[in-house]
Chain A
Amino acid sequence: MNQVTQISGLLPVLPEIILACGAMLMLMVGVCTVQNERSSAIVNGWCVGILVLVAGFLLSVPAGRYEMFGGSFVVDDFARFLKILAIIGSAGALTLSLDYLTVDRQQKFEYGVLFLLSTLGMMMLISAADLIALYLGLELMSLPLYVVAASNRDSVRSTEAGLKYFVLGALSSGMLLYGASLIYGFTGTVSFTGIAKATANGASIGLIFGLVFLFVGFCFKISAVPFHMWTPDVYEGAPTPVTAFFAAAPKVAGIAIFVRATVVAFPGIAHEWQQIVVFVSIASMVLGAFAAIGQRNIKRLMAYSSIGHMGFALVGLAAGTPEGVQGVLVYMTIYVAMTLGTFACILTMRRDGMLVENISDLSGLARTHPTMAFFLAMLLFSLAGIPPLAGFFAKFYVFLAAIKAGLYVLAVIGVIASVVGAYYYLTIVKIMYFDEPAQRFQSMPPLLRVVLGVAGLINILFFAYPAPILNAATVAAKSLF
């Protein structure tokens, strides 16, 4: 208690501090200077810059494992990897937003600030090493999400999406807190390592109850079955770039804390949580595959697709091995790239100044916009998991880990689900390439081209040079065990 903390001791949290101060600075700049939509757009652009800056600082933080604030905040390779991924997701979604907001006359400087604050919450969540930090990070991540979902406040669908997300999110937070209090009651500690010590020799039934409630909260945040009900409605109702944000960054943070909490805090009762994760994973994969087939709206389709993908990512966690965690990390990396690329295409579906969202609007895209059709087709093939695209390798690594861990049934069901899922992705490709062309879309804004190009190239070229991502994921996964 009488320790003198030196400023240099705060170096590992420097990215978070910069992000928090940057968000508050942008808020002050916005409040004091913004007069019109154009200056709001500039502030939102600066917010992207701050995210890039924070990513740069993250890369420059010296390697190794640091425990800050009495062990509540851990910086290790796992955290570093996922933080950079979450920032890429946020920065990508914010970049996608810039044109959309200008065209739809929705520019507000608070939009970018809320993105920054939500990203700060994600980073805190990824580094959380006890239940209190977990909860605070989760809330800081979620609250801005509720607000940006309702940010188009003159649209009934957007406000409905925000309200629905808020009410269900509050419910899931309550569940999570109930679970956390049970876990605290049965172990006497909130820190993950302390819980691991207390559960080393098996756990009482009360602790299992707590674990289940904790998982309910996690499953809600990553929209895994059976807590996925909000996803299609919120994805459809929220403004499209916000949907892109929902689909990318919070999923990364949610998976991160799911993995860290289970692997670090409950290794002693791995058998118990493995059953739950296997069930959630199978249910998500199957529901994601079958429920998406009947969708006509591409945002709803992406919602079911993301539910399915979370199921696939959880396959790696179910294995509970370093290979499994590495699979999860690779999966999330490729998932973020695929999602951002696909949403860049969805945001281009604009006719006469209005966004259109039906899958049938894409018909004949190959003849009206051949380049965009090619990239979108590649992304859809990748989402379906067709080799040699990146999505195939993502699935390959998680299934490999599951088979090595002896979870044959899970792996087989996963493969079947991905075959079923391929049907609806291929349907879109068929509509784009073989149906009669519909009216042209407006030309693609340059920022969207950049995002689509980068995401598309990562997907296509991953197989040629996978080493950087794979090696980073291996190192990150090892730091947890």
Chain B
Amino acid sequence: MIVAALFFYLFAGLCVASAFMVIAAKNPVHSVLYLILAFVNAAGLFVMMGAEFLAMILIVVYVGAVAVLFLFVVMMLDVDFAELKQGSLQYLPGGLLIGGIFLAELFLVVGAWVIGPGVPQAITSPIPAAISNTAAIGLVLYTRYVYFFQAAGMILLVAMVGAIVLTLRHKERVRRQDVSEQVARNPKTSIEIIKVRPGQGLGSNS
């Protein structure tokens, strides 16, 4: 048990520390790297809770895709974050106040925590004892929760359509790849054989 507790504090401490570094780091690339560290530690916490599927998803989706996308954006946009952050100290009092209010609310909430009598029965999909939680998620995701799954799919479709509508411009004189045209090429259409006479170059022939 002591090992589990040690690992918990290791992951949790690293997670909080790297989350702090995300906002404290001067270089935005470092911020993203700290964000990845925070994700990995959060994944460790999930593993300790026995939610290995969520842990792996966190690594694959957030570290593998989202954080790398962030890195691309940060590197390509070349925003001077240090300049943006200048004067952010003047928002400190307001931020502290709001943070304090939220902390107080959290205390209120945790202090008032009473598990209702019907709560354990109300949980709709308990994890069956014999199978891993990956299998358990698989059992309900496409049956009990198929509606949510499909709805989330529609939302992603909207996001894709929206991004294309707002950003794609059909400009003239942009050369696009046309796969069928490339595949249909053969030597006859793409190679022209020209006899070059000695000492005259191509200019006179073509």
Assembled-state Cα–Cα distance A68/B146 (Å): 11
Q: CB distance A114 to B166 under 8 Å?
A: no
Secondary structure at the B interface, as helix, strand, loop or mixed, is helix
Min CB–CB distance A455 → chain B (angstroms)? 29
Q: CB distance B162 to A146 under 8 Å?
A: yes
- Report if A147-B161 is in contact (Cβ < 8 Å); known contacts: A136-B148, A198-B122: yes
Min CB–CB distance B168 → chain A (angstroms)? 10
Assembled-state Cα–Cα distance A144/B154 (Å): 11
Q: For residue B139, which residue of chain A has the nearest CB?
A: A1
Residues of A within 8 A of B146 (CB): 69
Binds B, one of A180-188, A258-266, A386-394, A461-469: A180-188
Tell me the chain A residues, 331-384 only, with Cβ under 8 Å from chain B.
none
User: Please, what's the 1-or-0 string for A175-209, where 1 marks a CB less than 8 Å from any CB in chain B?
Assistant: 00000001000111101001001100000111001
Min CB–CB distance A448 → chain B (angstroms)? 25
Q: CB distance A206 to B116 under 8 Å?
A: no
Contacts between the two chains (Cβ within 8 Å), count: 106
Indicate if B151 sits at the interface (CB-CB under 8 A). yes
Name the one of A72, A140, A150, A162 contacting B155, with C-beta atoms under 8 angstroms. Answer: A140
Indicate if B96 sits at the interface (CB-CB under 8 A). no
User: Please, what's the 1-or-0 string for A118-140, where 1 marks a CB less than 8 Å from any CB in chain B?
Assistant: 00110010000000110011011
Q: CB distance A144 to B158 under 8 Å?
A: yes
Q: CB distance B108 to A136 under 8 Å?
A: no
Indicate if B123 sits at the interface (CB-CB under 8 A). yes
Q: CB distance A209 to B105 under 8 Å?
A: yes
Q: CB distance A68 to B147 under 8 Å?
A: yes
Residues of A within 8 A of B119 (CB): 187-189, 198
- Report if A187-B116 is in contact (Cβ < 8 Å); known contacts: A114-B161, A147-B166: yes
Secondary structure at the A interface, as helix, strand, loop or mixed, is helix
Indicate if B89 sits at the interface (CB-CB under 8 A). no
Q: CB distance A209 to B151 under 8 Å?
A: no
Q: CB distance A20 to B154 under 8 Å?
A: yes
Assembled-state Cα–Cα distance A140/B161 (Å): 12
Q: CB distance B109 to A140 under 8 Å?
A: no
Indicate if B91 sits at the interface (CB-CB under 8 A). no
Assembled-state Cα–Cα distance A114/B150 (Å): 17
Interface size class of B (residues with CB under 8 A): 35 or more
Name the one of B109, B115, B147, B157 contacting A24, with C-beta atoms under 8 angstroms. Answer: B157
Indicate if A113 sits at the interface (CB-CB under 8 A). yes
Name the one of A69, A113, A162, A197 contacting B161, with C-beta atoms under 8 angstroms. Answer: A113
Indicate if B159 sits at the interface (CB-CB under 8 A). yes
Residues of A within 8 A of B152 (CB): 136
Q: CB distance B124 to A133 under 8 Å?
A: no
Min CB–CB distance B149 → chain A (angstroms)? 10
Assembled-state Cα–Cα distance A117/B162 (Å): 11
User: Please, what's the 1-or-0 string for A191-229, where 1 marks a CB less than 8 Å from any CB in chain B?
Assistant: 100100110000011100100000000000000000000
Name the one of B113, B124, B158 contacting A206, with C-beta atoms under 8 angstroms. Answer: B113
Q: CB distance A140 to B122 under 8 Å?
A: no
Assembled-state Cα–Cα distance A480/B112 (Å): 31
Indicate if B203 sits at the interface (CB-CB under 8 A). no
Q: CB distance B108 to A206 under 8 Å?
A: yes
Indicate if B88 sits at the interface (CB-CB under 8 A). no
Residues of A within 8 A of B155 (CB): 136, 139-140, 143
Tell me the chain A residues, 67-110 only, with Cβ under 8 Å from chain B.
68-70, 72-73, 108, 110
Q: Which residues of B contact A (CB under 8 A)?
A: 105, 108-109, 112-116, 118-120, 122-124, 139-140, 143-148, 150-152, 154-155, 157-159, 161-162, 164-166
Q: List 10 A-B contacts (CB under 8 A).
A: A20-B154, A110-B164, A143-B155, A147-B165, A147-B166, A182-B109, A186-B116, A191-B124, A204-B114, A209-B109
Q: Can you name 5 extra interface pairs (CB under 8 A) apart from A114-B158, A136-B155, A205-B108?
A: A70-B144, A73-B147, A117-B154, A143-B159, A150-B166
